[in-house]
C-alpha cells in the first residue's frame, strides 16, 4: 500500500509540474475582487480512493471558496429533503450553451422554469427553496448537510462574501427576473444572501475529493459506510455535471476528460470517477474522488491549468466514463 501510494503521488506530482504553466491561459476571476487578487500560479490536486487513501500533489494546503461547485451540492441537499420530483418540477435539467450568468436563456427563451440548477438562474432558485423559514435557516440547513458529508465544520470566507455582495449586480438582476416569474420562495436580497453565502464556503482540495467520491459511489461514503443520499439523486447530479458542470465547455470537457465534474470561478474542480472494473489500468479502477485547485480560469470560467491536468490524468489512467 505504501508503494502504491508513493507511486501514485509521484505521478501526480509530475503531472502538476507538467501543467502548471497552463495557468497563463487564464486569469483569476477579476469580477469578484477578492478572487481576482489571489496567486494565479497555484495548482494542486487530491484524489481519494474507496479505502480513504488520499493522494495529493502540488499546492494542496490552500483554502478557497466553493463558488459554483456549491450548485451541485445545493441541488443534492434540496433533492434529499423534498425528493427529486419536487426539485425537477421547479428547475429543468437542460444545458443552455450560454455563460453561467447569462440572462439570455432565462429572459429571451422564456422557459417556465430555469434551464438547469448549474446556471445562476437555476442555482439562485434552488437556494431560495431550501428547507427553513428564512434565509438564515435555509443556509444553516445546507451548511449542516455539507458538514455531515465532510465530517468537519465549515466556515464562510468573509472577504469573498463581502466582495461578492459588492459586485453582484448581474445576479441581482437575474434574481429580480426570477422573483417576477414567481420562482423564488424568498425576497430577492434573501435569496441572494443564501447564494452568495454558499459560494463563499471555504474548502480544500481534500474536501472536494471526498465529496466527489461520495457522488462517485452514488451517495454512499465507502470509508465511513454512511449512505447520505439516494442513487437517483447522485445519478441526476452526475448527469448535470457531465452536461452543465463545466459551464459552456461541458461538451469539450466530456470529450477530453470524460469525468463528471463541477467547477467554480475560484478555480476549484470537483470530480467523481465511478468504478470502472473493466479498465486496463490499475489505478482507481474502483473509482475515486478528485479535488483540483488552480485559480487562473479560462473564458468559460474553468481552471485553465486544472482542466489541462485532468485531461492528462484521465487519458493516462483511463478514467473517462464514456
Ligand atoms: N459566485 C459566482 C457568481 O455567481 C459563482 C460563479 C461560478 O463559480 N461560476 O458569479
> What's the mean pLDDT in 24-46?
95
- Domain-located, residue 126: yes
Same domain (yes/no): 236, 193: no
The DSSP 8-state label assigned to residue 194 in this structure reads H
Same domain (yes/no): 62, 208: yes
106 or 290: which leads in pLDDT:
290
pTM of this structure: 0.96
> What's the mean pLDDT in 193-198?
98
Q: Residue 4: pLDDT above 80?
A: no
Same domain (yes/no): 206, 170: no
Q: Is 164 annotated as a binding residue?
A: yes
- Domain-located, residue 79: yes
CA distance 145 to 42: 29
CA distance 25 to 5: 31
* Set of cell numbers at residue 97: 450553451
* pLDDT confidence of residue 301: 94
Cα dihedral 64/70/72/75 (nearest 10): 160
Q: Residue 110: pLDDT above 80?
A: no
Last residue of a domain, one of 132, 165, 199: 199
Domain that holds residue 165: 69-199
Last residue of a domain, one of 142, 171, 199: 199
122 CA from centroid of ligand 1 (Å): 12
Q: Residue 182: pLDDT above 80?
A: yes
Same domain (yes/no): 210, 193: no
| Weakest-pLDDT range from 4-18, 154-168, 251-265, 299-313 | 4-18
Burial of 109 (0-12, 13-18, 19+ CB in 10 A): exposed
Catalytic choice (42, 71, 206, 262): 71
* pLDDT confidence of residue 107: 64
> What's the mean pLDDT in 84-91?
97
Same domain (yes/no): 117, 189: yes
- Domain-located, residue 322: no
| Weakest-pLDDT range from 55-59, 111-115, 167-171, 185-189 | 111-115
Q: Is 141 annotated as a binding residue?
A: no
Q: Assess whether 68 carries a catalytic annotation.
A: yes
Same domain (yes/no): 218, 194: no
168 CA from centroid of ligand 1 (Å): 9
Last residue of a domain, one of 184, 199, 214: 199
* pLDDT confidence of residue 219: 98
Same domain (yes/no): 151, 239: no
Mean per-residue pLDDT of the chain: 95
CB 177 within 8 A of CB 242: no
- Domain-located, residue 50: yes
Same domain (yes/no): 149, 217: no
Q: Residue 204: pLDDT above 90?
A: yes
Query: At 278, is the pLDDT very low, low, confident or very high (cuts 50, 70, 90)?
Result: confident
Cβ-Cβ contacts under 8 Å for 211 (sequence gap 6 or more): 73, 149, 150, 270, 289, 291
Catalytic choice (20, 68, 203, 236): 68
Q: Assess whether 247 carries a catalytic annotation.
A: yes
Here the CATH number for the domain that contains residue 86 is: 3.40.710.10
Q: Is 195 annotated as a binding residue?
A: yes
For the chain, the domain total comes to 2
CB 71 within 8 A of CB 117: yes
- Domain-located, residue 265: yes
- For a pocket test of ligand 1, which of 194, 261, 265, 270 has the largest count of ligand atoms closer than 8 A to its C-beta? 265
Ligand 1 atom closest to Cα of residue 247: 9
The 3-state DSSP class for residue 58 equals strand
* DSSP track, 215-234: HHTTTEETTTTEE-S-HHHH
Q: Residue 317: pLDDT above 90?
A: yes
Q: Whose CA is nearest to atom 2 of ligand 1?
A: 67
45 CA from centroid of ligand 1 (Å): 21
Q: Residue 126: pLDDT above 70?
A: yes
> Above pLDDT 90, what percent of the chain?
89
Q: Assess whether 227 carries a catalytic annotation.
A: no
Q: What residues flank ligand 1, with Cβ below 6 Å?
A: 67-68, 100-101, 120, 164, 171, 199, 264-265, 301
Q: Residue 39: pLDDT above 90?
A: yes
Q: Assess whether 265 carries a catalytic annotation.
A: yes
Same domain (yes/no): 133, 215: no
Same domain (yes/no): 248, 273: yes
> What's the mean pLDDT in 83-106?
89
Q: Is 120 annotated as a binding residue?
A: yes
Strand residue runs (E) in the chain: 44-48, 54-58, 64-65, 202-203, 220-221, 226-227, 261-263, 268-273, 288-293
Same domain (yes/no): 128, 163: yes
Query: At 213, is the pLDDT very low, low, confident or very high (cuts 50, 70, 90)?
Result: very high
Q: How many residues appear in the chain? A: 322
Same domain (yes/no): 56, 97: no
- Domain-located, residue 219: yes
> What's the mean pLDDT in 62-74?
98
Amino acid at each position: 500500500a505504501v508503494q502504491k501510494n508513493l507511486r501514485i503521488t509521484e505521478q501526480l506530482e509530475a503531472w502538476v509540474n507538467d501543467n502548471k504553466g497552463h495557468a497563463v491561459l487564464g486569469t483569476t476571476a477579476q469580477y469578484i475582487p477578492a478572487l481576482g487578487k489571489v496567486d494565479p500560479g497555484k495548482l494542486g490536486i487530491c484524489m481519494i480512493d474507496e479505502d480513504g487513501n488520499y493522494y495529493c500533489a502540488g499546492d494542496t494546503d490552500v483554502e478557497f471558496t466553493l463558488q459554483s461547485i456549491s450548485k451541485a451540492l445545493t441541488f443534492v441537499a434540496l433533492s434529499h429533503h423534498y425528493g427529486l420530483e419536487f426539485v425537477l418540477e421547479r428547475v429543468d435539467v437542460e444545458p443552455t450553451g450560454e455563460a453561467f450568468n447569462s440572462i439570455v436563456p432565462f429572459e429571451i427563451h422564456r422557459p417556465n422554469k430555469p434551464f438547469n440548477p448549474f446556471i445562476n438562474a437555476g442555482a439562485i432558485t434552488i437556494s431560495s427553496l431550501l428547507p427553513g423559514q428564512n434565509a438564515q435557516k435555509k443556509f444553516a440547513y445546507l451548511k449542516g448537510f455539507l458538514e455531515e458529508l465532510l465530517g468537519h465544520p465549515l466556515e464562510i470566507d468573509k472577504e469573498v462574501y463581502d466582495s461578492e455582495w459588492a459586485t453582484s449586480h448581474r445576479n441581482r438582476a437575474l434574481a429580480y427576473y426570477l422573483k417576477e416569474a414567481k420562482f423564488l420562495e424568498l425576497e430577492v436580497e434573501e435569496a441572494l444572501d443564501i447564494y452568495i453565502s454558499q459560494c463563499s464556503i471555504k474548502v480544500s482540495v481534500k474536501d472536494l475529493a471526498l465529496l466527489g467520491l461520495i457522488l462517485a459511489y452514488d451517495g454512499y461514503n465507502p470509508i465511513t459506510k454512511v449512505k447520505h443520499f439516494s442513487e437517483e439523486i447522485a445519478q441526476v447530479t452526475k448527469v448535470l455535471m457531465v452536461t452543465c458542470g463545466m459551464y459552456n465547455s461541458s461538451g469539450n470537457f466530456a470529450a477530453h476528460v470524460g469525468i463528471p465534474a463541477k467547477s467554480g470561478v475560484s478555480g476549484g474542480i470537483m470530480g467523481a470517477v465511478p468504478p470502472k472494473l473493466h479498465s486496463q489500468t490499475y489505478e482507481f479502477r474502483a473509482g475515486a474522488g478528485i479535488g483540483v485547485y488552480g485559480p487562473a480560469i479560462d473564458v468559460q470560467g474553468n481552471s485553465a491549468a486544472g482542466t489541462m491536468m485532468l485531461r492528462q490524468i484521465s487519458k493516462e489512467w483511463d478514467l473517462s466514463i464514456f
